Structure 1
Amino acid sequence: MQQYLDAWTNAWKSALNAAQQTGGAAQQAPIAGLTGNWWPPAANGAPQSPFGAANPFGAANPFGAANPFGVANPFEGFKLPTASIEPTRLQHLQAEYSRDALDLLRQATDATPKAPELKDRRFSSEAWKATPGYAFTAAWYLLNARYLHELVDAIDTDPKTRERIRFAVQQWTAAASPSNFLALNPDAQHALLESHGESLRQGVMNLLGDMTRGKISQTDESRFVVGRNLATTEGSVVFENELFQLIQYKPRTPTVRERPLLIVPPCINKYYILDLQPENSLVAYALDQGQQVFLVSWRNGDASIAHKSWDDYVEEGVLTAIETTRSISGREQINTLGFCVGGTLLATALAVAAARGEHPASSMTLLTAMLDFSDTGVLDVFVDEAHVQMREQTIGGKNGATPGLMRGVEFANTFSFLRPNDLVWNYVVDNYLKGRTPAPFDLLFWNSDSTSLPGPMYAWYLRNTYLENKLREPGALTVCGEEVDLSRIDVPTFIYGSREDHIVPWRTAYASVPLLSGPLKFVLGASGHIAGVINPASKNKRSFWSIEADAKHLPEEADDWFAEAGEKPGSWWPTWAEWLDQYGGKKVKPRAQAGSAEFPEIEPAPGRYVQQRD
């Protein structure tokens, strides 16, 4: 590795000397000095860089029309978004980069080079600092990665194009880290020597196994069994059809509220994120508060339901679950809760019911759910007309084509690459370079246990929500034969958003407020999409924001609401439980047996559907 460092520093030493020889002129014009002296002259004696006219150290805009390859524009004829960087801003960034690069080169060429400070956990071990070659390789990488991200911040273009460029740069810089390569990772090399090659053999076996599965292992999946050490809250499956099973949980208190609570989880994941372990189960918590709890367990899609549509998920899914829960409980109205896309489905279903003159819900809870898709966070980088048309044509059954499935593994991989260092390359290094088996982690097991969806349903969802944002417009969509108007939902509604959610930005969660007509309460929790929701009261962690008094009319803008809200320590769960309790009706003795004569128990919870895996 020392030979590698020597070769690297010698290659740059002449450039450093040339830059220093320019004296005061170089100090006054560091960019010009780099352009004129770091690279050999062209045949005509003019300064030249290997980047041509689009030299990243020169004044030319690297996003402009100059073609560094000297050939015809390969994208001519295509309608591409424009992106540029204001010249003064670009020159400022170039000057900063040049200064930092020269400082790093000076450190590397010292007689006794001192390892640079590496403020990145990928390079936190002593092995990276002990040998200058590793340390300066990491430092050079961090400098260039930082500069690329600063260039993205400086781009003058529309927000969607900027976020797409940012996402691409994030993926490239994460992949290019020297920690991801055996030849440049001292920790992996140490493991190789210590194990006499066993770590490499095991790493190759891990890689081959993951290639077969189609995804990177994030946890030791052999340590978990749904129904044995996950999703263990006692209950019974009391109904099933092609799309879902309905679970009725066993009451835990001497008396229960007469109106049951129906939970509609997201259909792109298994439901047991809401019943992961006894100590962090929202299902168990609701039971302990005296609620009767029913829950939809979505089926993992296969070829037999590949033709199902959004209408089917509303009619045969949510509305059927509501009617079955009402029938078993004997109540005219029930309380309802939707999480993520489950909330979108639930609101659509209640709007359809309202259009039919039916009002089956006493209340609605929306947890990190979107009804207004104006700002869809980082997921927006994946959605445009071309992508939606591709899905419609390949799996959506468009123009009479055979419908297909949106595979759960695609969802899992997509969500992992939203955090590439934490959920992708971290496991590449540990699993493949070091030959380790990932530690057992229940949340990551659930994260990898995704659900496939029917193509027509998924394509409809993409086009009408993420792409065209029609759900918020009264009458713009017809679902189950009814025009959808969310303002017809006039039930009391509890809306929850997570402040650091990158999938459902909290302001997007708040954007549901002006669309609904009933009394509203909004609560903002700390942390992200999952950790913010699954924040059990017993652990007294994090915090949340709310307005103390229930306002008849919340502010229309999220930031105005936040200005009025106060922060409170701990979990938001007790606040929700207190709110829900007022719509549960009187207290009654729980029934001794699950189901009813019409809907007898089929099998114990968690049921078969949740155990179906790709």
Structure 2
Amino acid sequence: MAPSNSRPDGYAPAPMDLPLKLWLARLAHGISPASVSLAYADWLSHLLVAPSKQADLAASALRKAMLWLQYAPHSWRGGCPLCVEPLPQDKRFSPQEWHVPPFSALAQAFLLQQQWWAEAMTGIRGVSKHHEDVAAFTMRQWLDMWSPSNFVATNPQVLRETLATGSINLANGVANWWRDALSVLSDGKPRGVEQFRPGHDMAVTPGKVVFRNRLIELIQYEPATAEVDAEPMLIVPSWIMKYYILDLTPDDSLVKYLVTHGHTVFMVSWKNPDTSDRNLGLNDYVEFGVMAALDVVRSIRPRTRVHAVGYCLGGTLLAIAAAVLADEHPNPLMTVTLLAAETDFKEPGELGLFIDESQISFVEDLMSERGYLDGRQMAGAFQLINSKDLVWSKLVHEYLMGARTPMTALRAWNADATRMPARMHSEYLRGLYLHNDLAEGRYRVAGQPVRLADIKLPLFVVATEGDHVSPWKSVYKIHRLAGGPVSFALTSGGHNVGIVNPPAGPAAYSQAGYRFASCKPGKAPANPQDWLDAAEQRTGSWWPCWHEWLHKHSSQTVKPPTLDGLVLDGTTLAAPGSYIYLD
């Protein structure tokens, strides 16, 4: 039997099917209509044979209607208690203008309706959990589309701005929309990104490319201290992002922080794949990515072990490599650090809404034409997950209020989309997300199963509170999977801002804080909430804590290694290398 992480049989759609499937994929922005339809069919068919649920919903609708009919006229007098409070993360109706009639009544009507639909989409006996989640999620998207905050006539903030500016805000909004539309139609980049150029404004920490193959460039950074820890550091970022998320501007560069604190840093820069790379698989990323980079680092620093660091799916890849290397004596790795990286994908949060057989097959059909998945298509799924902030707040701010969201280094990096080879993307969606093969011991490298329990090294693991990509409770599961002691930090922020979190940086980071605790193997609480309740609360960035941990797990300090870069066409290739510029 073929291992479950191999390429599935029948991957390419039949030639007769391909035009229709590609047209549907583009029309639906990569979301499988069949997957959504199956979810609603499951929900509706079970609701139709549940008269008790129907009665409960009818009674709930009547109660909510009566509450609103009592609230609406009394709201004009002031001091009337609300029918329903918005969810804590919903800030649409927080401004004072929404507390004044008739807009307060509009907001309450919407929130009551939203609450009723949440009741209607959940708790129906017989509906599968996945279908219930998909149906409830898509219904929330539909309701959010019709929020009164999204329309000029029903948004008091927009009306006030329109009166104050003589509708100039709406004219500016039309201009903003037109510029964005042209950018999308021409596959252009958002306005303002030209102010943040890799190698000029970002990714400027000095270094040289010391190795290159068909998949990676390996960057070694120049030392910034007279002595460094003896053990060098190899950082493996995710291949669905360009590495310079960890080397943005000098004010918020993790790489700069590490080299100025006495670490020898090597960074993997993944090639942005094209059609010729369609058959690269996940194990190719292990072999030609992590393993190849590690061999180079050890050739530059022979007889030393390595502090290995992985971010997001780069961390997942590193965990696989660390388990494979566990049988080597001595182990080439000294420690393993995982940043917002899942190793158990059973509960991947709302990203799991897009992971089922129908959806994966749909994505495979979409990739079959060009041999890769465009990063913009991946970004669409992330925008849906956090649509209040990434879609509808933009509509109000830029298209109704006529304002411009200033470009930042992080937003410019986020617009620098990457691609994923078809085979690799299919393998990790099926093997890791759908079947959870890695956590359950079925994932194979070179024909041998990968056992995360074989990782006996010290681990430093960082999760972020607001992560929609790698939910912290899923990241926490490394405690029961790995065989080594785990120092776990739960930091404020989301998947990116929680990691790019300098000790002394812009105001956006000033409220940072994290919880921290170290646990011996098998001693961590099984329930993440128990860990959260007992963990030490600390203020500021987690970076200094990690630096101290790395230094503690290093053997000694030595003089920095020499830095001899790769020479191509008679020129030494300096950081950030050439792969970073491949669109």
Whether TM-score is above 0.5 comes out as yes
Q: 1:580 is matched with which residue?
A: 550
Contact conserved, 1:405 with 1:454, CA < 8 A, in 2? yes
Cα offsets for 1:431-480 (capped at 9, x unmatched): 33344332122222222222111111111000001100001233x22234
Quote the residue 2:577 is aligned against.
607
Q: Does residue 567 of structure 1 match 2:537?
A: yes
Which residue number corresponds to residue 18 of structure 1? none
Of the candidates 371, 389, 394, which is equivalent to residue 427 of structure 1? 394
Please say if residues 375 and 420 of structure 2, whose CA atoms lie closer than 8 Å, have aligned partners that are also in contact: yes
Equivalent-residue separation in structure 1 for 2:431 and 2:356 (angstroms): 12
Cα separation, 1, equivalents of 2:247 and 2:327:
33
Aligned counterparts, 1:308-347, within 5 A: 308-347=280-319
1:483 matches 2:449: yes
Q: Is the 8 A contact 2:71 2:80 kept in 1?
A: no
Is 2:131 the partner of 1:165?
no
Helix, strand or coil at the partner of 1:140: helix
Identify the residue that residue 80 of structure 1 maps to in structure 2.
42
Deviations 1:559-579 (A, max 9, x none): 354454332333322222222
Q: CA deviation at 1:315?
A: 1.0
Rate the CA distance shift 1:587–1:127 in 2: closer, same or farther, 3 A.
Answer: closer
Q: Counterpart in 2 of 1:554?
A: 523
What residue is the counterpart of 2:431 in the other structure? Answer: 464
Q: Could you say if the C-alpha distance between residues 242 and 509 of structure 1 is closer, same or farther in structure 2, counting changes exceeding 3 Å?
A: same
Separation (CA, whole Å) in 1 of partners of 2:520 and 2:168:
64
Partners of 1:236 and 1:247 within 8 A in 2: yes
Q: Which residue of 1 aligns with 2:208?
A: 236
Structure 2: unaligned runs, 5 residues or longer: 1-36
Deviation, structure 1 residue 418: 1.4
C-alpha distance in 2 between matches for 1:76 and 1:176: 24
Distance in 2 (CA, whole Å) between partners of 1:372 and 1:115 is 48
Separation of aligned partners in 2, 1:235 and 1:76: 52
For 1:547 and 1:315, locate their aligned partners in 2 and report how far apart those are by CA, in whole Å.
33
Q: Does 1:406 align with 2:373?
A: yes
Q: What is the distance in 2 between the residues matched to 1:385 and 1:276?
A: 37
3-state SS, counterpart of residue 468 of structure 2: coil
1:301–1:452 CA contact under 8 A, matched in 2 = yes
1:321-374 CA-partner distances (Å, limit 9, x unpaired): 111111122344211000110111111223334467783211111111111111
In 2, Cα distance between equivalents of 1:572 and 1:176: 40
User: Residue 192 of structure 1 contacts residue 200 of structure 1 at CA under 8 Å; is this kept in 2?
Assistant: yes
Question: How many correspondences in the alignment?
Answer: 529
**Letter in structure 2 aligned against 1:571:** S
CA distance in 2, matches of 1:125, 1:372: 40
- Determine the structure 2 residue equivalent to 1:378: 350
Q: How does 1:188-337 map to 2 (within 5 A)?
A: 188=158, 199-214=169-184, 220-337=192-309
SS of structure 2 residue aligned to 1:537? coil
Distance between the aligned counterparts of 2:159 and 2:190, measured in 1?
A: 22
Change (3 A) 1:92 1:288: farther
Are 2:39 and 2:134, in contact at CA under 8 Å, matched by a contact in 1? no
Name the aligned partner's letter for residue 263 of structure 1: I
Per the alignment, in what secondary structure is the counterpart of residue 538 of structure 1?
A: coil
- Please say if residues 497 and 523 of structure 1, whose CA atoms lie closer than 8 Å, have aligned partners that are also in contact: yes
Aligned AA (1:365):
T
TM-score by length of 2: 0.80
Mapped partners of 2:538, 2:95: distance in 1: 38
Matched, 1:436 2:392: no
**Which piece of structure 1 moves more, 167-176 or 386-395?**
386-395
Match of 2:21 in 1: none
Q: Is 1:142–2:111 an aligned residue pair?
A: yes
Taking CA–CA contacts closer than 8 Å with sequence separation of 6 or more, which of the two structures ends up with the larger relative contact order?
2
C-alpha separation in 2, matches of 1:126 and 1:290:
50
Q: Indicate if the aligned counterparts of 2:273 and 2:420 stay in contact, CA closer than 8 A.
A: yes
Are 2:282 and 2:424, in contact at CA under 8 Å, matched by a contact in 1? Answer: yes
Check whether the contact 1:262–1:293 (CA below 8 A) recurs between aligned residues: yes
Contact 1:411 1:450 in 2 (8 A): no
Does structure 2 conserve the Cα–Cα contact (< 8 Å) formed by 1:594 and 1:601?
no
Task: Specify the alignment match of 1:529 in structure 2.
Answer: 495
CA distance in 2, matches of 1:456, 1:501: 27
Q: Which residue of 1 aligns with 2:482?
A: 516
Which one is further off, 78-87 or 359-368?
78-87
Please give the secondary structure, in 2, of the residue aligned with 1:248.
strand
Q: Does the C-alpha gap of structure 1 residues 574 and 106 become closer, same or farther in structure 2, counting only changes over 3 Å?
A: same
**Cα separation, partners in 2 of 1:210 and 1:78, compared to 1, 3 Å:** closer
Deviates further, 225-234 or 361-370 = 225-234
SS in 1 for 2:504: helix
After superposition, what is the alpha-carbon deviation per residue over 1:111-157, rounded to whole angstroms, capped at 9, x for unaligned?
x9999979774356676677x55554444333322332344455554
Greater CA drift, 312-321 or 93-102 = 93-102
- Whole-angstrom CA distance in 1 between matches of 2:300 and 2:210: 9
Specify whether residues 182 and 496 from structure 1 end up closer, same or farther in structure 2 by C-alpha distance, changes over 3 A only: same
- In the alignment, what sits opposite 1:37? none
Describe the superposition over 1:176-231 as per-residue Cα deviations: whole angstroms up to 9, x where unpaired: 12232344445545655666665545433433333344399887324322222222
Q: Secondary structure at the match of 1:436?
A: coil
Residues 1:106 and 2:73 aligned together = yes
Q: Which runs of 5+ in 1 are unaligned?
A: 1-74
- Equivalent position to 2:470, from 475, 494, 504: 504
Which runs of structure 2 are paired with 1:534-549 in the superposition (5 Å)? 534-538=500-504, 541-547=511-517
Distance in structure 2 (CA, Å) of the matches to 1:216 and 1:597 = 33
**8 A Cα contact 2:236 2:290, kept in partner:** yes
Distance in structure 1 (CA, Å) of the matches to 2:147 and 2:40: 33
Q: What secondary structure does 2:460 align onto?
A: strand
Over 3 Å counting, the alpha-carbon distance change for 1:552 and 1:278 in structure 2 is same
C-alpha RMSD of matched pairs (Å): 3.5
